[in-house]
């Protein structure tokens, strides 16, 4: 069998956005207003809100897990445990 070299992949940017997570609209329809910038701008507002919502959910989940499972260290003269 012939050995295959590394696969070359061109870098690309699928989506890029900047949003203000502190904005809380009075209605769910106002969620799009927290998006300050979105690339590419040809994507529908609904899809943009879905992408930002997923990013917020992942951020909140990570923050929760980090706070809940914050490493606790115990140190004695003989050993150190984490």
Q: Is residue 9 part of a domain?
A: no
> 40: cis peptide before it, omega within 30°?
yes
Q: Is residue 7 part of a domain?
A: no
- Please give the pLDDT value at position 16: 96
Q: Is residue 43 part of a domain?
A: yes
Residue 67 neighbours by CB distance under 10 Å: 8
Q: What is the mean pLDDT of residues 47-64?
A: 91
* Residue recorded with tokens 């590419």: 40
Q: Domain residues for 38?
A: 16-81
Name the pLDDT band for 22 (thresholds 50, 70, 90). Answer: confident
* CA atoms of 39 and 30, how far apart (whole Å): 20
pTM (two decimals):
0.66
- Please give the pLDDT value at position 2: 73
> CB of 25 within 8 A of CB of 31?
yes
Residue 77 neighbours by CB distance under 10 Å: 5
């Amino acid at each position: 069998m012939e050995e295959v070299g590394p696969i070359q992949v061109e870098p690309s940017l699928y989506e890029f956005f900047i949003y203000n997570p502190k904005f809380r609209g009075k209605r769910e329809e106002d969620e799009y207003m927290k998006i300050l910038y979105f690339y590419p701008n040809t994507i529908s507002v609904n899809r943009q809100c879905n992408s930002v919502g997923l990013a917020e959910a992942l951020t909140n989940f990570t923050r929760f897990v980090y706070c809940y499972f914050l490493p606790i260290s115990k140190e004695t003269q003989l050993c150190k445990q984490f």
